[in-house]
Structure formats: C-alpha cells, structure tokens
A and B are shown apart, each in its own frame.
Chain A
C-alpha cells in the first residue's frame, strides 16, 4: 500500500482552506457527525477573510424595516448585471440574516443600533443600509468568532499545509496530496468528500488587495480534477485601493468610507461620479450633489449617491478620470471624508483606515483626503457549483466562498462576500457530510498518483541552477496588470495568452536551493503552476466574452450584448488543454423575474 510511504490522515470530509467559508463548512460537517479535517495554507485565523473590512450583507431590516430578502436578491442580481446564478442569489439573500445572528450567538460583537440590535451600514449597490459590521474590521471579527467556535468542535486542524493535487478514484475524489511548510515533507489526506474553500487569485496582478495565499489554488485543483469554471473573465477590481507609497499600492480602502459619507473627487475638486451614472442605474441614482448628500439621512425621499454605484462602475470611472489627466499626484483620485464628517465620527467608524493611512502613508484621513485607485480584489467567477448543495461536476468535490462562481455574476456587491462565505460554507459542509453518509464503502488511493504528485513537487529542488521562481511570478504579474487589467482588447488578451504559454515553458526549468524546510522559494515555485493556470483561464474567458459587462470591460466591445448576457463562459480541461464554451445561464422563474419588471 503506497500510502504508508507518506504521512497519511483519513477523514470523511476534508476542507481545504480555513477562511470564513472553510471554517463554516467544517463546523457544519462536524455537526453532522462525520470526521472532519481542516487544512490551512497559513496558520489558523490568518486567512484572507481577516482583511475584509466593511461588513456582511444581510437583509435583517434593523435600520430600514422595508428591507427584505427580495430587495437584497434584486440588488445582487442587478449588481451582477444579471449574469448571476439566480438560485444562489436567492438562497444567499434568504439565509444570510440567520447566518449573521448565528455568528452573534457564537460570540461576535457587531456594532449596535440605539435599541441594542445589530447596526447596519450603507454600501455600494445595496438599496438599504444592510451591512452588519464592526467598525471597519468585520472580517477579523468573523474569522475570530468562527475560529474560536471551531476549535471547540470535533475538527482536526492541519496548519501551514499546502495541497498541490486532488486525488481521484475513478470519477470521484478520494483525497489530496500536499506538503507541510515547516518540514517540506509530503502528506496525504484520504477523504470521501472534499470542500474547496481556498479563496481567490489576486496574486496574478501586480497591484492587488490579496495576501500571498491568493494564488488560485482551489480553482486549479478543481479544474485539474475535472470540474468546470465560470465567469473567470469577470474578475473584480475594487475601485479604492491605496496608490501611494508604491510599496503599499493595492491595499484595500473599504467602501465603508463612501458608505459613511466619503466622496470621490478629481484633481479639479469635482465629484466626478455624477458624470458616470449608467442608464441601467439612472432611475435609482441621485443626479445632484444636494440629493446625494440628503440620501445619507433620508433614503425614502432621495436617491443613492453615485459614489456608491456598484464597484465595476466606480472602478471604470476612476480609470477614465486618471486617463483624462484629472488624477491625483500619484495616479489615483481623491477620496474625501475629512471635509464631510467630524474627526471623532471618522475615528469611531473607520479606525483601521485611520491607522493604515497614518502608519503607512503619513496621511491623517480626518484632516486630508486619501489617494485611491483600482486594485485587483475578488474573483467573481470560479468553480461552477450546484446552487443548493455547492457540489461541483466531480462527485465528492464541493466548493464554497470566493473559489466558487455563480452568486456574484459579473460583479459582486460589497458585503456580499462575507455573507457568501457563511451561507454557502454551511451548505458545502452540510452536503459534503450527507454525500459521505450516502456513499458507503471506502475510497482507494492509487499509488501511481501519489508518486506523480511527489515527483512533480520535488522537480524544482532537483534543478538548483534553474530559473528564479520570483522572476517568473513578477513577470506574470506585470503581464496581467498590463494586458488583462480593467480595460481589455482582443490583441492584448492574445498577447497575454502567448506570454503565459512562455511562462509555462519556463516553469519547467525553474529551480530552487535551500532544501525542503520552510523554503519560500520552493513554495513560490509550486504556487506558480496555479497562478499560471488561473491567469490563462481569465485571459481565455475574456477573449470569448466579446462585450462589456460588470468586471469585464472590452475596449473593442464597449457595450453589453444581450445575447452574451444570457451565457456563462465555461472553462474546462480537456486532454490537458484548456477549452472554453458559451453555455446558457439557468433561467429565472417567473415570480422572481417579476421583481425586476415592476421596478423599471
């Protein structure tokens, strides 16, 4: 039995990734009484969820009783330019309030309303103040709450362990192969079901909000195991990242700044968003500064400020202003809350932002405007899943959170990611456990697959004079930034595909020294395969969507095309090659369709 050659752990369900989705999945699977292993690429509690700032969207109606799941559903679909999987958007809107209350029962302390309930704040694209939050560190509260809840359940946690391949038993998944960062030794996880909760792929770009972990691992694992990807071209560029100093360029500046009264201005001091209100949102967006300002206090009689249009619209507008020469000194625009809200209010509502700008840029945001610009932020697409069960096309393989596609369509609304994590994390854990219970029998791990995994992982160490992995990573990031950024054209996308092909060739010659113990050079070499795979998937999918929609903007096809609005670009691996196809999105039932017609 080959598995005895490597350290082997056996579970009913393993969960790869320990951010919000992975932790919530683990808690749910454990509650079903199956054996659960939770694998973290970093230490527990350090996953990227910790960086989420603004809040978790849930139509609880604590601030505006008019809010309900139908309004949230409609906002989510419209924000996603109707490319969303309607059923996921429905489940998400219906279940997120209960998931927030559950976090509270597990110890989370959200900011309160005057009558002691959970306070909710305004965010882009949400009709009502809907984001439960803790100042601007909501993700930290969420991951700590889940982390401290999870460690008291029956869950085995494996920290600083990177999975490089999923193992298959025929069509089904049967486990995963990986290495311990500390020792570099290999480890095998045998499992009947696997939940992918690995987050996104921001590290493909030069300027991004993501930590080193966001290398597209889960998408790559799923694709290679036979699953399908959707909407990869609709990657989200968050409109407001820091732009200066260069070393912190890309770090997130929460949309909560605008939710709490901040406004975008160009170098002439104009609130330029009023010039960029698209037809699609005209009816619900304020067209004067006076109305926009009144809206913060009175949402019934005023329309929403264009500063809080969905992220794709705001990112494109900032891009246009900078291109037209009306940018800030370091190539962004100004985000001003200092002149609009009292210093005490800013410090109370946005403590992390105050700290971040003071420490990293010497800017006091209670006194001066911030400089901000678009930054690669979030994978709107991802692994195609069944809306109800989070199951992929591969039996036994589930996916939840950022790694899964469908909920957000072409553009995600702020606040909908944290709710996505807990709503679909729970479902993935539940249905993975139920799948295991129905499966019976055992799964067999094939020795040949393990040997191939080991050979592949060791290869860079056997080429000590080979190419520096960091050099390929840097070049890829520059290529993606330049050619597969916010605004795209056919020729540049084709050039990107050619270059990615060259990097793939160079990856075969990459070499590292320094042995296997906690060797970041080796880890980077191994992460490159996933980075290149997901970059290629984005570029190829972007070529196929010959229109502009949500996070995907084509300079050569600047308008939306209704025909393409009815399809997903689906990416598969066929005989080793990446293949794309246009496939119809699921049709929305008539009762839900009605929600869009009556509001026109």
Chain B
C-alpha cells in the first residue's frame, strides 16, 4: 500500500504549526480516511469536522495543497505516492482548533435573508408548479453548505471588514432560489443590494470553480441578481418578472 506524508495544521487561534504524519492509504481511500487513520492511531485529539463521508453534508471542508475542497471527495489516487499533502483549515473563518473553524458568520447571514412569502393557493387549497419553472431553483437547492465558495471568495477571504455587509456566494444563490421560486411574492432587491452586498462581487467565478455540487453559482445565480438590481429602477419590469414566476434567466 502506498504511504503518504500528510502535513496537517495543528493548533488554535493562539498559534500552531504544521505537523507531518506518515500514513498508509488503502485502495480507494479518500483523504478523510487518511486523516481518520492519523486520528485513530497517531493523534487521537486531531480536530476535524465531518459527518457523512459521502459528499452530502458539506462538513469536511479544508484547504488541500492550497485548494479548498471536501476531504471526503478527495481520492488518494489524485496524489503521487510519497507526495506530501498539506491540509490546512479553511482560511476565511476564525480557527477553533486544527482543521475546525468557526463558521458562524454563515449562519448569521442565513438568518438575515427574508424568507419565502407565499402567494395564495389554488382554489383546491394546494399549489401547482411546472417542472420547467423550478429547474433553476432546484439547482440552487443542491447546495450542501460546505462554505467552500464562501472561503474562496476574495471579497471576504482577506477582507474581514467586508464581512459585515456581504453575504457571500452561498447566500446569493439562496436569495436567487427564493427570487425564482414560483410561489414567492417578496421583492428582495433592496436586501441583496444593501445588506447582502451583491454589488461587491466582480464575477471572478472562484466560487463556481470550487463548488462540489457543480452549481453554476455565478452564471445562474449572481448574474441574474445583478441584472435584476439594474432593472429595479423600473418597477414595471420587476412586477412583470414576479408575474411570470420563476422562468429561467438566460445563463
């Protein structure tokens, strides 16, 4: 079995350093398995956040050789045997310990988004939606909240001062999903212009590149929001859009 050196950050907000561990990898293993093997045999207290180990919960985000990714979806055959693999905590959020960061920024931003405001139902008390009209919003609902897009976004990555008025790519697609929801009746433009700061995004698409769910965050989510913001000077245009429901925007 190939043996790797994993260079893992160990420490807290007070300080720390990278530490090397020599570890064997069995066929088919992912990086999270290797980290768990280190934890079980060499460093019981190595802090790592994870849940499903199947790419569905979005808990095990880290920066692997400098690239933000899910450890559970990083196959070891991606690396050369004997290669040193550097694993650091995601950078944009305050460190708690080792590979675990304080992601509460994201939960605060989530809470600020005005929720769905439902339109009245059909006469039979239920709702009808056509598949074509929900395809785009369903794409945004695939988000597993791994916050990789948040950590890679340069608006906040090295700019703590921007966090106050910037929600980040994850929440732009959350907002876009609500705006394109066929049953929604609320206008969130003032919110995403002012409080969520969508204008700060300059479309470098870093978020889209790291998304493990391959959501077209920039093209399908952020750009339509920016366009609506521009249209907003004309309330008739907004009303028409609401009236038409969640039709797809051109990508």
Contacts and interface: CB of A to CB of B under 8 A. Distances in A.
Please give me the 3 A-B residue pairs with the lowest Cβ-Cβ distance, nearest first: A245-B28, A514-B45, A521-B44
Given A244-B28, A247-B26, A519 B131 contact: no
Interface stretch (A67-75, A101-109, A276-284, A531-539): A101-109
Given A109-B134, A520-B44, 18 more contacts: A46-B57, A46-B145, A50-B57, A51-B56, A109-B181, A117-B126, A134-B138, A137-B56, A141-B141, A151-B110, A211-B57, A245-B28, A356-B55, A470-B40, A519-B47, A521-B39, A521-B44, A522-B45
Contacts of B52: 46, 48, 50-51, 211
B50 to A, nearest CB: 7
A46 to B, nearest CB: 5
B100 interface: yes
Contact of A518 (B39, B98, B143, B178): B98
Interface of A: 42-46, 48, 50-51, 101, 104-107, 109, 111-112, 115-117, 134, 137, 140-141, 144, 148-149, 151-152, 159, 182, 211-213, 244-248, 251-252, 352, 355-356, 359-361, 468-471, 474, 512-515, 517-522, 524
A516 to B, nearest CB: 10
A359 B55 CA distance: 10
B110 A109 contact: no
27 contacts: A46-B51, A46-B59, A48-B51, A50-B52, A50-B57, A51-B57, A101-B126, A109-B129, A117-B128, A134-B141, A137-B56, A151-B107, A182-B96, A211-B51, A211-B57, A212-B50, A213-B51, A244-B28, A245-B26, A247-B26, A359-B75, A360-B73, A471-B40, A518-B97, A519-B47, A519-B97, A520-B45
Interface string B205-227: 00000000000000000000000
B44 A513 contact: yes
B29 to A, nearest CB: 4
Nearest to A183: B96
Contact of A474 (B40, B47, B51, B142): B40
A470 B44 contact: yes
Interface stretch (B111-119, B195-203, B233-241): B111-119
Contact of A247 (B30, B127, B183): B30
Instruction: With a 10 A CB-CB cut-off, give which of A104, A109, A141, A244 has the most chain B CB atoms.
Output: A109
Contact of A50 (B56, B126, B181): B56
Interface in B20-67: 26-30, 33, 39-41, 44-59
B55 A44 contact: no
A466 to B, nearest CB: 11
Contacts of B48: 520
B103 interface: yes
Contacts of A104: 127
Contacts of B141: 109, 134, 140-141, 144
B130 interface: yes
B187 to A, nearest CB: 17
B8 interface: no
A241 to B, nearest CB: 11
Nearest to B73: A359
B144 interface: yes
A361 B110 contact: no
Contact of B110 (A51, A141, A148): A148
Nearest to A473: B40
B59 A42 contact: yes
Given A44-B107, A211-B52, A251-B54, A246 B97 contact: no
B88 interface: no
B5 interface: no
B87 interface: no
Nearest to B34: A247
Given A247-B30, A356-B54, A360-B30, A116 B130 contact: yes
Contacts of B51: 42, 46, 48, 50, 211-213
A298 to B, nearest CB: 23
Instruction: With a 10 A CB-CB cut-off, give which of A111, A159, A245, A470 has the most chain B CB atoms.
Output: A245
B152 interface: no
A236 to B, nearest CB: 18
B84 interface: no
A109 B107 contact: no
Contacts of A134: 138, 141
A148 B115 contact: yes
Nearest to A105: B118
B137 interface: yes
A403 to B, nearest CB: 17
A524 B181 CA distance: 42
Nearest to B74: A359
B185 interface: no
Contacts of A360: 28, 30, 54-55, 73, 75
B75 A517 contact: no
Contact of B116 (A106, A211, A359): A106
A513 B40 CA distance: 13
Contacts of B107: 43-44, 151, 159
Instruction: With a 10 A CB-CB cut-off, give which of B50, B54, B96, B183 has the most chain A CB atoms.
Output: B54
A246 B115 contact: no
A115 B12 contact: no
A246 B27 contact: yes
Contacts of A151: 107, 110-111
Nearest to A330: B28
B44 A512 contact: yes
Contacts of B27: 245-246
A352 B55 CA distance: 9
Contacts of B53: 211, 248, 251
Contacts of B145: 45-46
Interface in B121-177: 126-131, 134, 137-138, 141-145, 174
A521 B142 CA distance: 33
